[in-house]
Structure formats: C-alpha cells, structure tokens
Amino acid sequence: MNGVHDMGGMHGFGPVRPEPDEPVFHAEWEARALALTLAMGALGAWNIDQSRHVRESLPPAEYLSSSYYRIWIRGLEDLIAGTGILDRDDLVARTGAELVAAFSRQGSYERPIDRPAAFSVGEQVRAKVISPRGHTRLPRYARGRLGRIVAVRGAHVFPDRHAGPLGEPGDERPEWLYTVDFAGTELWGPEADPRLTVSIEAWEPYLEAVAA
C-alpha cells in the first residue's frame, strides 16, 4: 500500500535530527502504550502484519501530526474495534496469566520451506515496481532500483499475505528473506553521497534477477 508512512526519500519533512542520549520513553504514557499493544496482541485476535497495516492506514493528516506512540495507540483502537473486542461499553479480556502464556507462544516468524533460495550472496537484483492495495514492507524508494544480496536470512512469514482481513488468522506461507544493499547514488541520484549504502530486508517476491 502506498501511503504517507512510506516517507523514505520524500522532500519537505526536514532533516533527521538524532537526539543525544535519547531516553527509551519520553513520557510515562508511551511505556503504557507499548505495554498495552503487546498485551492486546497476545490475545491472538490479529497478527503483527495486520497491526502494522492498520497503523499505516490511518488518515494521512492524523498520521503525520501524531507522535510514534500516538500512532500505536490509534492503531490499537482500530484493531480492537475492527475485531469486535470492544463494544463501546465493555472490553472482553483474558486474565493476565492467559495473556502472558499467549504472548510466550508467539515464537519466531522463521519457517521451514521446501524450495531453495532463488538468490545468493553477491548476486545483483532489482526491486520490483509494485503498488499493492494491501500491506507491503517494500519501501517506495527502492522500487525499480538495483541492489546486491549481502545475506540470506532464511524463510519467514510473508507480511503481504499475512496481513489479511482482521478477524482471520492470516496466511503464514513463508518466503525467503534477504538483506539487500543499495548504493545511495542508485536510490537518490548522482548528487547523493557516494559513500552511502542503504540496506533493506526484502522478501523474495519483491525481487527479480538482473540479466548478466
């Protein structure tokens, strides 16, 4: 899905200014926002990719005017409402012990797969030009650009399929996952710093081979 959340390379947002000695949380409510999101996720009513998709589907003006954890809270509200857990006056919840047990069972997103990886370390690839209506983890700035495989990360749940409709478990069929390096000049043009390299984690369906 193309949306305002995918801001890599876009103009008009000003420079990124790292905060020296930045605290983990800037306010107590941010810690509560993280704790609530993790606890509610352990109910199993949605998966991680559905939750990402809901946050990224917030109205553009609201998304851009909200802080990081404000976006998490707004997304959580929509997840609760969209799955029917909240009926305005009542919240159907499990006990604390059940929440902890459910969260403990989530485990890894790595999965076995019955086919070899299509690409290997050192191979040049091109990120596909796609504009899906649903969820995707392929950033806009990388689409159509040449990169090189620097690591094969095993097979993992493919988020584009996993982020299905709320209330459904999601399709967990895995795809091979790679770390792909892109030169800054390939992404941003000849005026970019030639020393710059951008690495992304890209699933196999995002990539295509480049003819030798």
pLDDT digits (tens, 9 = 90+) for 60-93: 899 888 999 999 988 888 888 888 776 545 444 4
For the stretch 35-40, contacts whose Cβ atoms lie closer than 8 Å and that sit 24 or more positions apart, written own/partner, are: 36/73, 36/76, 37/72, 37/73, 37/75, 37/76, 38/103, 39/99, 39/103, 40/76, 40/79, 40/80, 40/85
The mean pLDDT of 35-54, rounded to a whole number, is 87
Digit-coded pLDDT (tens) for 128-154: 999 988 899 999 999 999 999 999 999
The mean pLDDT of 169-187, rounded to a whole number, is 94
**Residue 94 predicted with pLDDT over 80:** no
Sequence letter at residue 139: P
Percent of the chain surpassing pLDDT 90: 48
The mean pLDDT of 164-192, rounded to a whole number, is 91
Calculate ∠ Cα 107-150-3, nearest 5°: 65
- Residue 26: which pLDDT band, with cuts at 50, 70 and 90? very high
Q: List CB contacts of 200: < 8 A, sequence separation 6 or more.
A: 138, 139, 142, 147, 179, 180, 182
Position of tokens 């609760």? 80
Q: Residue 169's pLDDT is what?
A: 79
Pinpoint the residues of the chain covered by CATH 1.10.472.20. 28-104
What are the Cα distances from residue 160, in Å, to 3, 4, 13, 96, 155?
Answer: 15, 18, 27, 31, 14
The mean pLDDT of 106-128, rounded to a whole number, is 91
Pinpoint the residues of the chain covered by CATH 2.30.30.50. 124-209
**CATH fold for the domain made of 28-104:** Cyclin A; domain 1 (1.10.472)
**Residue 7 predicted with pLDDT over 80:** no
The mean pLDDT of 7-21, rounded to a whole number, is 83
Percent of the chain surpassing pLDDT 70: 89
Going by the DSSP 8-state scheme, the letter that residue 204 receives in this structure is: G
**Residue 17 predicted with pLDDT over 90:** no
Q: Residue 165's pLDDT is what?
A: 85
Q: Residue 25's pLDDT is what?
A: 93
Reported as type and span, the H/E element at residue 178 is: strand 174-183
Q: Residue 91's pLDDT is what?
A: 42
**CATH fold for the domain made of 124-209:** SH3 type barrels. (2.30.30)
Q: Residue 115's pLDDT is what?
A: 95
Q: Residue 80's pLDDT is what?
A: 84
Mean pLDDT estimate for the chain: 86
Q: Residue 105's pLDDT is what?
A: 56
